[in-house]
Structure 1
Amino acid sequence: MDNATKPQTYNSISEIRERKETILAEMRKDNADIGKKWKSLFQKSPERKKGITVASVISTGTGLIDGFLFVWKIYRKFKKR
């Protein structure tokens, strides 16, 4: 909006109508762009690749083992008291 700082002067109603149509066309274009971006936010992500899935399983498994060992260590420590 470069024209926000300078007030425009209009000499006829047709100039006002042209400006109104221009602004309306810009608003419709912006609305369409916003709609596309909004829809892209909620699209399902593409299928994961096998390598990523295997890495995820390994990471989760490692976390579970680490958690189990931590709980076992705490259990043994408090069992002695």
Structure 2
Amino acid sequence: MIKTNWKLQDAKNKFSQFVNEALTQGPQYVLRRGVATAVLLSVRDYEKLTSHKQSFTEFLLSCPKLDADDPFQRQQEYPRELDL
């Protein structure tokens, strides 16, 4: 993929070309005052980025399990006493 930078004003003035290049060449970066501030992606590229995320339940189920033989010790510190 070719990284293409567009000044904000150019992206606004040539929006059709801006979108066409995102579709054919890949992500298009928008610069505001010389700093990259936004990216235009095709729907295909966006879905590629977002489709591999696990649900929260899948994430929890994929966490390593504790073995019954692993020593698990509860924290021995108690909260400080407060005078109310």
Q: Which has the higher helix share?
A: 1
Structure possessing the higher relative contact order (Cα contacts under 8 Å, 6 or more residues apart): 2
Question: Which has the larger Rg?
Answer: 1
TM-score (structure 2 length as normaliser): 0.35
TM-score, length basis structure 1: 0.35
The structure carrying a bigger strand percent of its residues is 2
